[in-house]
Amino acid sequence: MTLNKSDRVELVHGGGGEAMMNLVNRVIVSKVKIGRIFNGLGIWDLDDGASMPIGDFELVFTSDGYTINPLFFPGGDIGKLAITGTINDLSVMGAKPLAILDDIIVEEGFPVADLEKIISSIISVAESLNIAIIGGDFKVMPKGKLDKIIIASTGIGVAERGRVIRDSGLKPGDKIIVTGTVGEHEIALLSVREGLTFESNIISDLAPLWPLMEKALKVGGITAAKDPTRGGLASTLNEMAKKSRVCIWIYEDNIPIRSEVKAACEMLGLDPLYLACEGRAIIGVEASKAEEVLDAIKSTEIGKNATIIGEVRSEPTGYVVLQTTIGGKRVIEPPIGMPLPRIC
């Protein structure tokens, strides 16, 4: 999808799919002339963050905006989402999260009690991982000029120089690991937003990834990693395949999806492969290290349902191929947008 000069930005352009990437590349990335520092990762890499080499280390930076609806949902709230999402972007790049800055913009009349709950969630997650909250900004918009609250979160982490993980490092022969069941976050939001009740309450998978990634990194052999947020597994795998110039084969029987999520998707006509997660990582690992990395991940509470879901091949370049339960094959197309806006 492309934009003409007369076109306007629509919700689909914020969905994390091809429509958004086309817009971002045309309006932002292609215009930037200075996009990296000291030959680190920068805007042109379109990774989960950027890096700046200093001595034996690389500082890793990431920034994200959060506009979720509803603000409070099963398993978390916008505060927990903002800090966790920022931690996870640093974590999948192999960077130990050190510090967070939050910019909070609220609508006039926003309940102070709700604001305190949101801030408490941010502080609680930060303290649990010994991460400093070192600054930010706070502003108030006139009533009706903003929908309740927006949080923009910036994270700072550190990795050894040359050890930053990119989402474009996959190589033929690598195994693909997903660190847990997929789809709970988006279904949890949808159930609250639409007033739906399922037989079993579905709770968002929202959780910090650093404890899991730290153990995996100690084993070694990780070639690429990314968290499947907007656009879910399908979007993330397609992006990794295209940027790595490889083909990813995944096996339907191996993808961990809770039965209640499958049932909800069948009822709503959704594909769980396209649903956002907020506490999962997709990791490429050298085949010789894959089982050891998997065991390390499974030793954590958040990673206990981790699975090897596929492998990396050389052809057809840039595609994601699903081998179905009945033995057929189909291409997993990248999403244009996302089925549910304002999920993160």
Q: Are 318 and 253 in contact (CB under 8 A)?
A: no
In a domain, 344, yes or no: no
Residue 337 domain flag = no
pLDDT tens, residue by residue, 103-158: 999 999 999 999 999 999 999 999 999 999 999 999 999 999 999 999 999 999 99
Considering the domain boundaries, does residue 290 fall inside one?
A: yes
Would you say residue 343 lies in a domain?
A: no
Question: Residue 198's pLDDT is what?
Answer: 67
Domain presence at residue 21: yes
State whether 156 and 188 are in the same domain: no
- Check residue 200 and give its pLDDT: 67
Residues 153 and 182 placed together within one structural domain of the fold: no
Domain boundaries, position 1 = 1-29
- Quick one: pLDDT at residue 37? 93
Residue 111 domain-assigned (yes or no)? yes
Q: What is the mean pLDDT of the chain?
A: 93
pTM flag (> 0.85) = yes
In this structure, what CATH number is given to the domain that contains residue 66?
3.30.1330.10
Number of domains in the chain: 3
Is it the case that residue 271 has pLDDT exceeding 60?
A: yes
On whether both 211 and 102 belong to a single domain, the answer is no
- Looking at the structure, tell me whether residues 182 and 294 fall in a common domain: yes
Tell me whether residue 166 is in a domain: no
> Is the pLDDT score of 1 beyond 50?
no
Q: Mean pLDDT across the stretch 29-57?
A: 93
Residue 280 covered by a domain: yes
